[in-house]
């Protein structure tokens, strides 16, 4: 069941609509922030990567001390174990996205390449394969189908909905995210790949995350996220894309990010 294909059943509450208006009004100042912070662009990028890595590890509840996490987020260290190797791979992926946000394209190959990057010195992460019956009888040969085809389908539906220009971006992101999570596409670390994919989509269209750590705000609202995810998953099998709470979660993060960068911009200007 694909949530994206049922987006015409979505309804936006008044509170959500007001929040959307507030977020997009704040988004209109992105050019101003880019110009204001242009001299310290590299400093902001470095800080955002460091904070993102630290809080990503906290979200995953990695068995590493805060002191070790800070060192790993700030410096290039040699991994002591597979957990640290995995975190280094996550750091490399986030750094690549942070430095080249506009280069991310919603393609199956992007996720395949991300899985390969995360696998380095860790564990192989590949698309799952499932056996499907070709015919109706027990004796019909089974065909091995790759989950890669399922991702192709989700992306195809996303692009079709996006082209209609009928739906707001964060709602599209929410529904794509729920489809991705429920398809269970990879042999390992589906959630991690989903986290990174969501961030890449957001950063491409909301440049506020060049200056504010997305995963710091995500971690801060982690209980809200889990509640939103549980609600969306509960209704997923019915075909109703009940992603209201997840969309609200994303909008709350965006709202707080814009508030934060706006307050900081005043201090920075002086």
- HSE at residue 28, side-chain half, CA atoms within 13 A, is 7
Contacts of 69 (CB under 8 A, 6+ apart): 53, 54, 57, 58, 62, 87
- Count other Cβ atoms within 10 Å, centred on residue 188: 17
DSSP 137-186: STTSPEEEEETHHHHHHHHHHHHHHHHHT-S-HHHHHHHHHHHHHHHT-B
pLDDT at 42 > cutoff 80 = yes
Tens of pLDDT along 143-172? 556 899 999 999 999 999 999 988 899 999
Residue 135 pLDDT: 57
* Dihedral over Cα of 129, 135, 137, 140: its sign: negative
What DSSP assignment string belongs to 49-74? HHHHHHHHHHHTT-S--HHHHHHHHH
Only one residue has tokens 């922030």, namely: 33
Six token digits for residue 123: 């564990």
What pLDDT sits at residue 137?
Answer: 57
What is the arithmetic mean of pLDDT over 19-27?
96
pLDDT at 136: 56
User: Which pLDDT band holds residue 10 (cuts at 50, 70, 90)?
Assistant: low
The CB density around residue 162, as the number of other CB atoms within 10 Å, is 15
Give the pLDDT of residue 3. 79
- For residues 48 and 213, is the Cβ–Cβ distance under 8 A? yes
Average pLDDT of the residues in 126-143: 67
Residues 82-105 have a mean pLDDT of 96
Instruction: Please say if the pLDDT value at position 141 is more than 60.
Output: no
Q: Which of 4-18, 84-98, 135-149 has the weakest average pLDDT?
A: 135-149
Please tell me whether residue 131 adopts helix, strand or coil conformation: strand
What crossing angle do the helices spanning 222-236 and 169-183 adopt, rounded to 10°? 70
Residue recorded with tokens 């707001």: 168
With cut-offs at 50, 70 and 90, classify the pLDDT of residue 138.
low
Report the pLDDT value the prediction gives residue 9, as an integer from 0 to 100: 65
pLDDT, residue 134, reads: 58
| Angstrom distance (rounded) from CA 170 to CA 20 | 9
Q: Give the least confident one: 85-94, 98-107, 131-140, 184-193.
A: 131-140
Beta bridge partners of 130: 145
Rounded mean pLDDT, 107-133: 92
Q: pLDDT tens across 216-254, in order?
A: 999 999 999 999 999 999 888 777 768 999 999 999 999
Per cent of the chain over pLDDT 70 is: 92
User: What would you measure as the largest C-alpha separation in the chain, in angstroms?
Assistant: 77
Give the predicted TM-score (pTM) of the model. Answer: 0.92
The overall average pLDDT reported for the chain is: 92
């Amino acid at each position: 069941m694909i949530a994206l294909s049922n987006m015409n059943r979505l309804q936006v509450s008044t509170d959500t609509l007001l929040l959307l208006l507030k977020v997009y009004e704040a988004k209109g100042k992105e050019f101003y922030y880019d110009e204001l912070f242009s001299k310290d662009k590299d400093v902001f990028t470095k800080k955002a990567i460091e904070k993102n890595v630290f809080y990503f590890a906290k979200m995953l509840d990695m068995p590493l001390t805060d002191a070790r996490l800070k060192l790993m987020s700030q410096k290039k260290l040699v991994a002591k174990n597979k957990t640290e190797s995995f975190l280094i791979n996550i750091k490399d992926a986030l750094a690549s996205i942070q430095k080249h946000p506009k280069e991310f394209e919603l393609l199956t190959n992007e996720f395949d390449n991300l899985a390969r990057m995360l696998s380095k010195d860790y564990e192989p992460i590949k698309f799952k394969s499932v056996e499907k019956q070709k015919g109706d009888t027990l004796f019909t040969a089974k065909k091995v189908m790759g989950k890669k085809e399922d991702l192709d389908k989700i992306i195809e539906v996303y692009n079709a909905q996006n082209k209609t220009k009928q739906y707001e971006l964060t709602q599209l992101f929410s529904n794509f995210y729920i489809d991705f999570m429920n398809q269970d596409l990879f042999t390992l670390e589906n959630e991690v790949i989903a986290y990174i994919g969501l961030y890449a989509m957001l950063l491409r269209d909301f440049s506020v995350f060049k200056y504010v750590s997305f995963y710091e705000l995500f971690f801060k609202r982690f209980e809200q996220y889990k509640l939103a995810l549980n609600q969306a998953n509960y209704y997923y099998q019915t075909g109703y894309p009940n992603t209201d709470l997840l969309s609200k979660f994303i909008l709350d993060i965006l709202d707080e990010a814009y508030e934060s960068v706006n307050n900081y911009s005043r201090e920075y200007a002086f």
